[in-house]
Structure 1
Amino acid sequence: MSNQSSSTETSARSSVPTNQWIKGIVFTALFGALFIAGSFIKINLGFTPVPITLQTFTIMLAGGLLGAVYGFWSIFIVVALTALGLPLMNGSGGIAQITGPTGGFIWMFPVSAFLIGWVSDRIFARRKKLNRMQQLSLLLSVFAFGSLLVYVSGIPWLAHVLDNAKYDTFTGALRAGMYPYMPGDAIKAVVATFIILSLKPILPTIRPTK
């Protein structure tokens, strides 16, 4: 009887990594698809090649809900497949999509998801409900890593690529690629944080096995 019980416990323990792996793949694919959908929802402003999209919003959700590792892979895989030629972002693909005017923003997307997930994992560690300070910390992290960090690589690259005397300087690139988007970024961060606070406690825990 004890041998049978021991065998059952061993089987149960061995199934945990498999279940985590399956859940990780499912959620990675789901949020990758969400990121693709967010890429197709865009508004062109006309005076700049940088459109308004829901890409950063989906990145905030991917990192905040999936955590660092799976959040990173959900975005990185889409970016990598786009670079290989699949029309997954804005309906186009290939190296030109990754090295074009918005390339600097795209490179940072997986890193943003990873850092948001890293913060989210630690804030929610061993707790389901956050106090006000923890909620504020999460909001600031989502905004800093999901919005401000993207501009760190996006703006210099935009200034480098643009062939426009009005926007090919760093100051001009700020006017073309950052200033018009900041209010929307703030709104995205608030909404994403609210969704993370609502869903993170009830989502199944998915962490890569050690």
Structure 2
Amino acid sequence: MDCWVAQLGVVTRDHTEISRSITLRTDKQGRVSLAASEVLRNREISPFILNMGNNGALSNSGTFRTQPDDVRALVDVHLAEARRRWGLDKGVVDVCIYAHGGLVGENKAAEIAAQWIPMLYERQIFPVFLMWETDFFSTLLNLIADAIKEVPRSALRPQGLVERAPGAAGGPTRHAPVGRDEAERRCDERLPRRRA
């Protein structure tokens, strides 16, 4: 008996380069190179995205899925490789935790992440992108699910928690939410690209 196996698609140079890279691909000047294909681009940035579902639980559905092992890999593999590449094995690493705002679905959040993750990485700022699917339809379904499960309304509104937590613990409060344009301006002015 004969058995034939076929695989759709053609392996491209991007496929090969991505499969050989432990983390984001960069050139000798440290510029990040993302694939032009949306599917491959998403594959490259996905390790830096923590995708959350209803009430902040890690999401196991959609294009971007985050499991506890993915969070460990972000720190143990990708952060370690960034430290090595940037010559910061013993030094301090700047980390940016980016949380998108507004009613944003997974596809739009992926576009935002594809802009921010490379920009931060090129400036030797380790990116962590919080993707919380907040488009109108997902939000409506989550509210209905919470109502059915009788989740207290206070659990639905965590705003202010991040801002209050450091001060409540006696630490300094340095969190200052800013709009996208202001964040880009600050990133360009205060954090110029570092040279290795």
Structure 1 length-normalised TM: 0.28
Higher helix share: 1
Q: Name the structure where strand makes up a greater proportion of residues.
A: 2
Q: Which has the higher contact order (CA 8 A, sep 6+)?
A: 1
